[in-house]
């Protein structure tokens, strides 16, 4: 297995500097207030015992994540965005590292419960905590979102939730996908399309379907998904290899190209640099949809860029990925490899 040949450390470039060429970093002033309200809601769900809840929240720093990723959202919308993170990360952890890591049938069963939340919006709130959180999230989303944004969120959730089953099945079989296959799957597992819908919701944007059906916009969507996802795989690699989880782009490159860890890290980093260039080229080709729509689209793209940069910086600042590693200077950061089971 690849893990037996890993070195004791690897070197990581400043990924935030790479994405920062096109993505601005800003912070929301409602961070503390939103955190208090969202934590009270999360407490009420009763998902974790006190010890596990404290680890989840304190290691996650999700309030910082939301503040960096949704800098222009008002308090009400920022609370919903933070609730989205609590729900998404706790659900993702369930299949990534929890009881269901290698049990695709059980992941599928949980997915089916949440499907009922979507298909039966008037039904009572589920007692299954993950579905209950999803129920509350959808209620808040529907309050102010446009029908188009809500439809896009549901469609994106269906894709994301289904991808969790696929990823769990790959884990159960110790299967490492090809690089191209993994990139496509990873766009779904990171929930990029859900993020785009949440970005729409966070500012109550009103964009017609034709915008999202445009080939340039679709290509830009793929690019921003990759700009969020590939840094995640680079930053989370240490945690995942410690967990024995090989569903990571770095492992896919190592396996497909038969290279060592550092070379694979460098390859993925260069892929990220090229993806930034791709995004710049695509943005320069944006068509016009009319003055009013173009104005809303510009707000949307700027907000999405804010989200990308906030996300990449959060990868460094959250102890989920760099526990005990000084990330003050991110230029050529030396990362000691965690021992198996350290998380």
Give tens-digit pLDDT for 142-160.
999 999 999 999 999 888 8
Average pLDDT, the chain: 90
Asked if the structure places residue 331 within a domain, the reply is: no
Task: Provide the pLDDT confidence category of residue 102 given band limits of 50, 70 and 90.
Answer: very low
What number is the average pLDDT over the span 190-195? 89
Tell me phi and psi for residue 156, to 5 degrees.
Answer: -70, -40
Report pLDDT digits (tens) over 226-280.
Answer: 999 999 999 999 999 998 888 899 999 999 999 999 999 999 999 999 999 999 9
pTM, two decimal places: 0.90
Query: For the CA atoms of 202, 211, 88, 103, what is the dihedral angle to 10 degrees?
Result: 170
Those residues whose C-beta lies under 8 Å from the C-beta of residue 248, and which sit 6 or more positions away, are 233, 236, 237, 240, 241
Q: What range defines the domain where residue 27 resides?
A: 11-321
**Is-contact 183 250, C-beta < 8 A?**
no
CA angle, 41 then 68 then 77, to 5°: 45
Task: Provide the pLDDT confidence category of residue 171 given band limits of 50, 70 and 90.
Answer: low
Whether 121 has a pLDDT exceeding 50, the answer reads: yes
CATH of the domain at 197: 1.10.600.10
- Number of domains forming the structure of the chain: 1
Asked if the structure places residue 52 within a domain, the reply is: yes
CA angle, 129 then 248 then 198, to 5°: 45
Those residues whose C-beta lies under 8 Å from the C-beta of residue 285, and which sit 6 or more positions away, are 216
Report pLDDT digits (tens) over 311-330.
Answer: 999 999 988 889 889 999 99
Asked if the structure places residue 148 within a domain, the reply is: yes
Can you read off the two tokens belonging to residue 233? 């795989």
Asked if the structure places residue 135 within a domain, the reply is: yes
**Is-contact 69 311, C-beta < 8 A?**
yes
Whether 99 has a pLDDT exceeding 90, the answer reads: no
Q: Which of 125, 95, 88 is nearest to 110 (CA)?
A: 95
Phi-psi sector, 290: left (phi>0), alpha (psi -120 to 50), beta: left
Q: Which of 320, 311, 315, 175 is nearest to 239 (CA)?
A: 320
Asked if the structure places residue 333 within a domain, the reply is: no
Those residues whose C-beta lies under 8 Å from the C-beta of residue 120, and which sit 6 or more positions away, are none
**Cα 292 to Cα 206: distance, rounded to the nearest angstrom:** 10
What number is the average pLDDT over the span 199-208? 96
Asked if the structure places residue 343 within a domain, the reply is: no
Whether 73 has a pLDDT exceeding 50, the answer reads: yes
Asked if the structure places residue 338 within a domain, the reply is: no
**Is-contact 133 117, C-beta < 8 A?**
no
Can you read off the two tokens belonging to residue 281? 């080229």
**Looking at residue 74, what is its pLDDT?**
98
**Looking at residue 67, what is its pLDDT?**
98
Asked if the structure places residue 1 within a domain, the reply is: no
């Amino acid at each position: 297995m690849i893990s037996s040949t890993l070195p004791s450390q690897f070197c990581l470039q400043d990924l935030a500097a790479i994405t920062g060429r096109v993505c601005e970093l800003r912070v929301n002033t409602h961070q503390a207030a939103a955190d208090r309200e969202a934590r009270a809601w999360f407490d009420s769900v009763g998902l974790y015992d006190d010890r596990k809840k404290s680890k989840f929240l304190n290691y996650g720093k999700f309030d910082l994540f939301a503040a960096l990723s949704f800098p222009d959202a008002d308090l009400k919308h920022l609370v919903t965005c933070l609730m989205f993170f609590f729900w998404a990360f706790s659900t993702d952890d369930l299949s990534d590292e929890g009881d269901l890591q290698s049990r695709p049938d059980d992941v599928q069963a949980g997915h089916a419960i949440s499907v009922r939340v979507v298909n039966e919006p008037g039904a009572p709130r589920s007692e299954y905590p993950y579905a209950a959180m999803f129920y509350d999230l959808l209620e808040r989303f529907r309050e102010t979102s446009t029908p188009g944004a809500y439809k896009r969120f549901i469609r994106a959730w269906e894709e994301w939730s289904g991808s969790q089953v696929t990823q769990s099945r790959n884990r159960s079989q110790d299967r490492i996908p090809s690089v191209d296959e993994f990139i496509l799957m990873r766009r779904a597992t990171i929930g990029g399309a859900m993020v785009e819908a949440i970005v729409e919701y966070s500012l109550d944007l009103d964009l017609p379907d034709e915008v999202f059906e445009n080939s340039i916009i679709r290509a830009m969507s793929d690019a921003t998904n990759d700009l969020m996802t590939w840094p995640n795989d680079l930053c989370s690699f240490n945690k995942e290899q410690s967990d024995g989880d090989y569903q990571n782009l770095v492992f896919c490159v190592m396996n497909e190209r038969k290279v060592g860890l550092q070379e694979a890290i460098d390859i993925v980093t260069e892929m990220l640099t090229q993806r930034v260039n791709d995004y710049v080229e695509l943005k320069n080709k944006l068509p016009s949809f009319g003055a009013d729509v173009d104005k809303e689209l510009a707000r949307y793209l700027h907000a999405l860029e804010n989200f990308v940069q906030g996300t990449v910086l959060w990868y460094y600042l959250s102890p989920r990925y760099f526990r005990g590693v000084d990330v003050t200077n991110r230029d050529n950061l030396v990362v000691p490899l965690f021992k198996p089971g350290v998380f």
